[in-house]
Amino acid sequence: MNNNAIRFACNGCGVCCKGRLIPLTLSETRQWLLRGHDVAVLLEAFDESTWAAQPGEYAHSAKRAVEVVSGRAPVRVVAVMAANALGQCPNLGADDRCGIYDQRPLVCRIYPMEINPFIALRPENKACAPQVWETGEVLFTDRIVDPLLHDQVERSRQADRDDAEAKIAVCEDLGLNVAAWKGNALAVYLPAHATLLAAINRYDAGQHSPTAAAWKVRADDDTLRAQLDALGVALAEQNQADYIFHRV
Ligand code: SF4
Ligand code: SF4
């Protein structure tokens, strides 16, 4: 099939390396921290009701999350470790070239393609200039055509699944126990890089604190709070300040 054929030829402008958080695998997180750079931790919670009409999307998301108990309710929590490039990536040179090109994270290799199979690739939503979509190889039709890109996307999805338990264990060890409700907001933590690295090292050495955390969900919308409360979910205070509550 060749419907929706999308060509792409990166022009190396470096715009995608600025003003964003860059999701990392756990292995990449270790490397990023060891280079001395900061990594944010994003926490989202959900349950089956989040995708009542899309069981396939729920199944995809559930595999990259861990079931925990919040109050009286089982919920799933997904932790995303993301390099802080809100100004610009610390590896981006003055010439807009990547300083760790051979070791750059998977998402940098995959961009601007989507990793989530339920999110359609839309060039207008990407940082790339319009003209880069008019030349180059066909990368995408009804599926990813380029075999290298396909492999990288699969590796990224597999890492999300493989790392899920470890990332939640690291969060519990650090006391990062408030997640935002998926689709409503993100709870964004900005731990000191040495603190996060130490927690990952404790996990790697089997010396973390695996005690069950008192998971809470932060929701500011009154209707959502009432829904979660009815489910028995433990709701977080709305004025807690050790994370950024980023509405989406
Ligand atoms: S690691 Fe390299 S490619 Fe990835 S955001 Fe940083 S500068 Fe850009
Ligand atoms: S914004 Fe697009 S065109 Fe520019 S470097 Fe990133 S991927 Fe390439």
What are the phi and psi torsion angles at 222 (to 5°)?
A: -60, -40
Residue 17 Cα to ligand 1 middle (Å): 5
Q: At 1, is the pLDDT very low, low, confident or very high (cuts 50, 70, 90)?
A: very low
The average pLDDT across 9-37 equals 96
| pLDDT tens-digit readout, 73-109 | 999 999 999 999 999 999 999 999 999 999 999 999 9
Provide the mean pLDDT of the chain. Answer: 92
Q: How much is the pLDDT for 5?
A: 86
Q: Give the number of C-alpha atoms closer than 13 A to the C-alpha of residue 81, restricted to the C-beta side.
A: 32
Distances (CA, A) of 181 to 46, 64, 169, 195: 6, 15, 19, 26
Which residues, 6 or more positions from 49, have their beta carbon under 8 angstroms from its beta carbon? none
The average pLDDT across 55-75 equals 94
Distances (CA, A) of 154 to 110, 115, 116, 149, 172: 10, 8, 10, 9, 28
User: Is 29 a residue whose pLDDT tops 90?
Assistant: yes
Q: Give the number of C-alpha atoms closer than 13 A to the C-alpha of residue 10, restricted to the C-beta side.
A: 15
Which atom in ligand 2 lies closest to the alpha carbon of residue 15?
1
Ligand nearest to C-alpha 97: 1
Q: Hey, which of 10, 13, 17, 102 would you mutate to test ligand 1's pocket, going by the most ligand atoms within 8 Å of its Cβ?
A: 17
Q: At 66, is the pLDDT very low, low, confident or very high (cuts 50, 70, 90)?
A: very high
Q: What's this model's pTM, rounded to 2 decimal places?
A: 0.93
Q: Is the model more confident about 35 or about 6?
A: 35
Domain ranges of the chain: 6-247
User: Is 156 a residue whose pLDDT tops 90?
Assistant: yes
d(CA 15, CA 8): 15
